[in-house]
Amino acid sequence: MPSPQLAVIGGGQLARMMQQAAIGLGIHIRLLAEAPDVSAAQVIPDHLVGDHTDLDTLRSVVADVPVVTFDHEHVPPEHLRTLEAEGHACRPGPHALLYAQDKGDMRARLGSLGVPCPRHAAISSPEDLDTFGYPAVLKTTRGGYDGKGVWVVRSAADADEAFATGRALLAEELVDFRRELSALVARSPSGEVRAYPVVESRQAGGVCAEVVAPAPDLDPRLDAEARAIAERIASELDVTGILAVELFETADGRLLVNELAMRPHNTGHWSIDGADTSQFENHLRAVLDLPLGSTAARAPWTVMVNILGGAVEDLQAQRAVVLADAPGVKVHLYGKPVKSGRKVGHVTAYGHDLDDVLARARHAAALFTDGVSP
């Protein structure tokens, strides 16, 4: 068996889809999984089960592996600095990951770079919030995901739940946005950068529901600006691997950065079937400092729709129904137990007619989620 070239910390669907790309490139991945049956542990034979916050566990996973990357952003930075001191390359490194882990630090850093962001302030009391003004969006600076840890507040009374968390909070202006965009880039340690087409991401209940690539009717000026912002952040923060920059396109035609992710991102899943090189393959190429692949779209339109846990409990049984009824749609199931609202897979459709592509992808996802199509 070839020796492992890459350790991946975290056994979710992102690591699972990294393995899909690793197979083609002949890359041997060693995985640290949270439990023996998690999504990526099902498909990566060389895995250990343990806690990613425990330094000795991390050491045993990476022992004979030169490069380390991540399925999530939750490994304590001090552990990553220790692994680096012991000779392992962490990609992205802790100096970059900080800005994906802490929204307060991210806002401060982007502000110093002159990158456009919503107006914001650190909040430690209801009085601070009154001073900031309403309406506002309150966020825990750490640990939020899929809209958890985010509250729209119109008065101090709306903020009780946020203050009850006892966590550091950040207030932002409530942005009047037309839509949400996402700009993904891959960047390698030698500095090669490639930007994916800018996409539109549509959320439902704080969770990404669907992604359209490229973002329909995007002003070429904003398209170029979004890519330039993502490339600049990747270079200035020294990000290696995939960087996803979530953006608001405001009602008056400006871009504001919402947040950063330093790993393959839900808004890049379309690229598996829709781009010359998927975000997972380019993430592997980038962190291993291999030449990056073309990020060009293969079809005029690609739509990705998430499969969220719903009425259908047995996705395996439902698969045959979907494949028969939506033959051109690509199916990606994550091997996760169905729980209400949880991301358990996604589907992708592509073609020349956006309405047709959207309808086919939504139809297939609805069959997986609800068993019927609307």
Chain residues that interact with ligand ADP, rule: CB under 6 A: 118, 137, 139, 144-150, 172-175, 180, 203, 206, 246, 258-259
Compute the distance between CA of residue 45 and CA of residue 278 in angstroms, rounded to an integer. 22
To ligand ADP, the closest distance from the beta carbon of 186 in angstroms equals: 21
To ligand ADP, the closest distance from the beta carbon of 264 in angstroms equals: 15
46 versus 173: smaller Cβ distance to ligand ADP: 173
147 versus 293: smaller Cβ distance to ligand ADP: 147
Verify cis geometry, omega within 30 degrees of 0, for the bond prior to 214.
yes
Judge whether 101 and 93 are in contact, CB under 8 Å: no
What number of other Cβ atoms are within 10 A of residue 372's Cβ?
10
To ligand ADP, the closest distance from the beta carbon of 60 in angstroms equals: 31
- Residues ≥6 apart with Cβ < 8 Å to 40: 8, 10, 11, 12, 13, 14, 15, 16, 18, 19, 31, 33, 47, 71
To ligand ADP, the closest distance from the beta carbon of 143 in angstroms equals: 9
121 versus 321: smaller Cβ distance to ligand ADP: 121
138 versus 237: smaller Cβ distance to ligand ADP: 138
To ligand ADP, the closest distance from the beta carbon of 370 in angstroms equals: 23
143 versus 335: smaller Cβ distance to ligand ADP: 143
In the DSSP assignment, the letter for residue 282 is H
What number of other Cβ atoms are within 10 A of residue 224's Cβ?
13
Beta-bridge partner residues of 257: 247
Please report, as a single letter, which amino acid is at residue 106.
M
